[in-house]
Amino acid sequence: MILTVMQISCRRLLHNRVELLLTFIVPIAFFSIFAVIFGGGLGRGTTPRIKVVTVDEVDSVVSRLIMSALKEQESLRFVREEESSQLSRSEAQELVRNGTATMAIVLCKEADQLAAQLLADASDQVASQVVSAVVNRSIMLSEAEYQVSQLGVSDASESGDQQNIAATNEGNDPDAEMLGIEESLSRKVEIVDVMGEGKANPVVSMYASGIAVMFLLFGATGGGGALLEERENQTLDRLLSTQMSMDQLLLGKWFYMTAVGVLQVGVMFLWAQLVFNVDLVGHLDGFLMMTVVTALAASGFGLFLATLCKTRGQLNGLSVILILTMSALGGSMVPRYLMSDQLQQYGLWTFNAWALDGYTKVFWRELPVDALAPQLAVLLFSGVAFLLAARTLAVRWESD
Amino acid sequence: MNYLRSTPALAIHDLRKSYGDLHALRGVTFCLERGERLAFLGPNGAGKTTLIRCLAGLTRADHGEIHLGGKPLKSVEARKHLGFVPQEIALYRDLSTRQNMLAFGRFYGLRRSELRNRLDWALQWTGLGERADDLVGTFSGGMQRRVNLACGVMHAPQILLLDEPTVGVDPQSRQRIFTMLDELSESGTSILLTTHHLDEAEERSDRIVILDQGQVVADGSIEALVKQSVGTQRWVRLRIDRPLTAPLRVGAAADAALIGTTGEDRISTRIDDVSTHLPGLIELVRRRGYGIADVQVEAPSLHHVFLHLTGYELRD
């Protein structure tokens, strides 16, 4: 009996292509995405290149050597390279705040010693560590190079100097020297967070938006599934035999799904405000704008998928695959700064990436609403495009 | 909307529809008069559902014309007067009776007091006033069919299309549904329904159209169809007092026919004129030495008509 149940279940699985896909292909695809992200991105290198700008307030031989050394680092990508020599500290900080650069490397003087301040965006927790190490190394090597070059310049008194150096070194305690170097390093590189100051739980809002977008998509495809159910039980036929047109039906569904999506995200962020101290009220205008267009885009996508599929089962399978993939690539599950440049580019084909960028601008960077123009435009365009595609596909439901 | 007296409620001319190599409708032509009840009969695959869908505007015919009250089907004005009740229970099962009726009333363009009045009428008509606020998904099949029907007539259509309105319901619910349809018919609504049930077609319609393989093979009242197919013949069944020892010869030697089967105590035959030929048949049987235990005379039914016209049984 038990064996028979197992056999029947197995046969049913083999006859159900959607279920086979979900059981065996989707996990592989998902694992592959994460493997690419963490185990070696597509394109150049295994670590994403960090966007930086530089400011040289010292303008000495050593500082210029340090700058040259930094520019040779593969892990750094210099933005506004042609302007960097003219950038001021405040301008560099602004570039970090508005997301143009992840970090600003400012070479300055502290107590007559050359030091570096890293003006950082604390949301990228990897960048601070990587750049700090790179800058440290560059400073050490550049200073050493300078010292060597100085030794080479004074050739005439080389022997005397060498004896002096030897005598100096003989009298030095090696441990004290190491301690001195360490102290020197610790003074040289300072990380300054220019983003998270004054914010309570700044990173929570970013993760809230990532999860919110993913569930907007799931909700939208659920709404689209209701349309398919109506078609299957001939309620759709009945509706189309009344005075209602397919245009009106789809628009009604679109607006309804958008309204539910806005409410869904609103409740989620309200919870974030109450429990995790996310400042929703202080960013209401940007939040509402981003939420409405993201919900419009997700709803259009949901309707498009529903009109593409023939059955609810097909829709469920397809939507799970697509939404999970989009969420992984778009940053809903893993921050995009962990991905290679190429994967980040691919992510721009997803709603998630644009929506997350928008919410980041609102809650993290606290930019004015006009800075949201690219995100709003892309999401709104996507929503309308998908709705039109759904309308085109729904023609076959109107009259076969 | 004014109907001309001579304008039928529904006129279909040379309707054709194919799905690839499958010809679902092959030149269907008929009319539905105002207040008339028309039953479409036919086996599975005859084209009934395709026809209904064409009339409801859900399927685009390849060729032909459909006019509602003299106006083309596609016009908004014409479609206001059409009601459609699909075969499936096309309702929102997670809404109540009232909510479903209100929703479909609004979809048909009803508003405010007119909608409220029609809602009250529909609840009374279906006999579901006490279940107005219960979810439709909790109803029996028969009750759901009643709500299904009501949602198709909220706007008081001139023409009502029903696709198998009583499929899967118990006899009591069927009776209730047909009582509801009778009330509609008496108020002037023209009804066109498809059915597999011969008794429904015979008892509940003024006219019957028989469809087979996409073509109309018969169109008329039951009496007319019987007359033009099997004619005035009647089936006569005699039960005799003992089994036949041999078939009985009936008629003159040149035209003699054999009736009955050796070993059976029943004799079945068709005779044209009962009043003239039945006494002679009974006398013949008696003269052969058999007593008559029972006599049954059966009028030809739609079943016989269908069999005569199509050559096969009407399958459920």
Task: Render the burial of B137-171: b for 16+ CB within 10 Å, e for the rest.
Answer: eebeebbbbbbbbbbbbbbbbbbbbbbbbbbebee
Q: What is the mean pLDDT of residues A33-40?
A: 70
Rounded CA gap, B82 and A126, in Å? 67
Q: Which of A9-18, A172-181, A377-386 has the highest mean pLDDT?
A: A377-386
Rounded CA gap, A211 and A352, in Å? 9
Residue B167 inside a domain? The answer is: no
Whether residue B22 lies within 8 A of chain A, CB to CB, comes out as no
Cα B19 to Cα B11, B46, B47, B49: the distances in Å are 23, 14, 12, 13
Residue B28 inside a domain? The answer is: no
Q: Which domain holds residue B245?
A: 232-299
pTM: 0.76
Neighbouring residues of A295: CB distance < 8 A, sequence distance ≥ 6: A216, A220, A257, A258, A259, A261, A262, A265
Contact B57 A238 (CB under 8 A): no
Predicted confidence at residue A82, as pLDDT, reads 60
Whether residue B58 lies within 8 A of chain A, CB to CB, comes out as yes
Residue B181 inside a domain? The answer is: no
Q: And the tokens for B126?
A: 């279906």
- Is A294:A256 a contact under the CB 8 Å cutoff? no
Closest CA to A119 of A194, A199, A203: A194
Predicted confidence at residue A331, as pLDDT, reads 87
pLDDT for A264-309, tens place per residue?
999 999 998 898 888 888 899 999 999 999 999 999 999 999 999 9
* Partner residue opposite B107 with nearest CB, options A242, A398, A399: A242
DSSP states along B136-163 = GGGS-HHHHHHHHHHHHSTT--SEEEEE
Contact B86 A399 (CB under 8 A): no
Residue type, A161: D
Averaged over successive runs of 10 residues, the pLDDT of chain B (316 residues) comes to 63 92 92 91 86 89 89 78 91 93 93 94 94 94 93 94 88 88 91 84 87 89 78 84 89 73 88 85 91 88 72 57
- For residue A163, pLDDT beyond 80: no
Average pLDDT of chain A, as a whole number: 83
Residue B261 inside a domain? The answer is: yes
Helix (H, G, I), strand (E, B) or coil at B29: strand
- For residue A336, pLDDT beyond 90: no
- Residues in chain A within 8 Å Cβ distance of B104: 238, 242
Percent of chain A clearing pLDDT 70 (strictly above): 84
Predicted confidence at residue B314, as pLDDT, reads 56
From the CA of B91, how many Å to the nearest CA of chain A? Answer: 6
CATH architecture of A50-193: 3-Layer(aba) Sandwich (3.40)
From the CA of B82, how many Å to the nearest CA of chain A? Answer: 8
Predicted confidence at residue B29, as pLDDT, reads 94
- The DSSP 8-state label assigned to residue B243 in this structure reads -
Which H, E and C letters describe A21-63, residue by residue? HHHHHHHHHHHHHHHHHHHCCCCCCCCCCEEEEEEECCCCHHH
| Domain coordinates in residue numbering, chain A | 50-193, 202-398
A397, closest residue in chain B (CA to CA): B58
Whether residue B107 lies within 8 A of chain A, CB to CB, comes out as yes
* Partner residue opposite B86 with nearest CB, options A238, A242, A399: A238
Contact A400 B56 (CB under 8 A): no
B76, closest residue in chain A (CA to CA): A243
Task: Please report how the helices A174-188 and A125-153 are oriented relative to each other, as an axis angle in degrees rounded to 10.
Answer: 120
Predicted confidence at residue A328, as pLDDT, reads 86
Distance of CA B72 to the CA centre of its chain: 25
Binned at pLDDT 50, 70 and 90, residue A197 comes out as low
Helices (H), chain B: 48-55, 76-79, 97-107, 112-126, 141-152, 171-186, 198-204, 222-229, 274-287, 302-310
Predicted confidence at residue B289, as pLDDT, reads 92
Interface test with B, best of A229, A237, A244, A248 (most B CBs within 10 A): A237
Average pLDDT of chain B, as a whole number: 87
Contact B90 A244 (CB under 8 A): no
Residue B26 inside a domain? The answer is: no
- Is A182:A264 a contact under the CB 8 Å cutoff? no
From the CA of B213, how many Å to the nearest CA of chain A? Answer: 19
Contact B79 A238 (CB under 8 A): no
- For residue A215, pLDDT beyond 50: yes
Contact A243 B104 (CB under 8 A): no
* Partner residue opposite A241 with nearest CB, options B84, B87, B109: B84
Helix (H, G, I), strand (E, B) or coil at A119: strand
Rounded CA gap, B156 and B160, in Å? 9
Residue type, B88: E
* Partner residue opposite B107 with nearest CB, options A233, A239, A400: A239
Of A23-32, A112-121, B112-121, least confident by mean pLDDT is A23-32
Predicted confidence at residue A200, as pLDDT, reads 57
Predicted confidence at residue B45, as pLDDT, reads 84
Predicted confidence at residue B92, as pLDDT, reads 92
Contact B90 A233 (CB under 8 A): yes
From the CA of B282, how many Å to the nearest CA of chain A? Answer: 57
The alpha-carbon radius of gyration of chain A (Å, integer) is: 29
Rounded CA gap, A226 and B191, in Å? 31
Rounded CA gap, B167 and B243, in Å? 43
HSE of A1, CA atoms in CB hemisphere, 13 A: 0
Phi, psi of B93 (to 5 degrees): -65, -20
- Residues in chain B within 8 Å Cβ distance of A233: 88-90
Residue B240 pairs in a beta bridge with: B292
Q: What is the mean pLDDT of residues A132-146?
A: 87
- Is B197:B169 a contact under the CB 8 Å cutoff? no
* Partner residue opposite B91 with nearest CB, options A235, A237, A243: A235
SS3 content of chain B, % helix, strand, coil (to 5): 35, 30, 35
Cα A122 to Cα A128, A210, A282: the distances in Å are 8, 18, 20
- Pairing assessment for the beta strands B248-250 and B266-271 based on DSSP bridges: unpaired
Residue B266 inside a domain? The answer is: yes
Predicted confidence at residue A175, as pLDDT, reads 46
- For residue A133, pLDDT beyond 80: yes
- Is B37:B205 a contact under the CB 8 Å cutoff? yes
* Partner residue opposite A241 with nearest CB, options B58, B92, B109: B58
Q: What is the mean pLDDT of residues A180-187?
A: 50
Residues 282-301 of B with CB under 8 A from A: none
Contact A241 B56 (CB under 8 A): yes
Residue B268 inside a domain? The answer is: yes
Residues 227-266 of A with CB under 8 A from B: 233-235, 237-244
Contact B152 A238 (CB under 8 A): yes
Q: What is the domain count for chain B? A: 1
Q: What is the dihedral sign for C-alpha B71, B73, B78, B83?
A: positive
Q: B207 or A206, which is more confident?
A: B207
From the CA of A231, how many Å to the nearest CA of chain B? Answer: 9
pLDDT for B258-316, tens place per residue?
888 889 999 888 787 888 888 988 999 999 999 999 999 987 777 777 777 776 665 54
Residue B268: which CATH number?
A: 3.30.70
Predicted confidence at residue B4, as pLDDT, reads 44
- Count of residues for chain A? 400
Whether residue B151 lies within 8 A of chain A, CB to CB, comes out as yes
From the CA of A12, how many Å to the nearest CA of chain B? Answer: 27
Closest CA to B7 of B236, B179, B276, B190: B190
Helix (H, G, I), strand (E, B) or coil at B238: strand
Residue B273 inside a domain? The answer is: yes
Of A38-42, A150-154, A156-160, least confident by mean pLDDT is A156-160
Residue B31 pairs in a beta bridge with: B11
Residue B30 pairs in a beta bridge with: B12
Predicted confidence at residue B27, as pLDDT, reads 93
Q: Which residue has the tokens 């809903």?
A: A332
Q: A153 or A208, which is more confident?
A: A208
| Number of Cβ pairs < 8 A linking chain A and chain B | 50
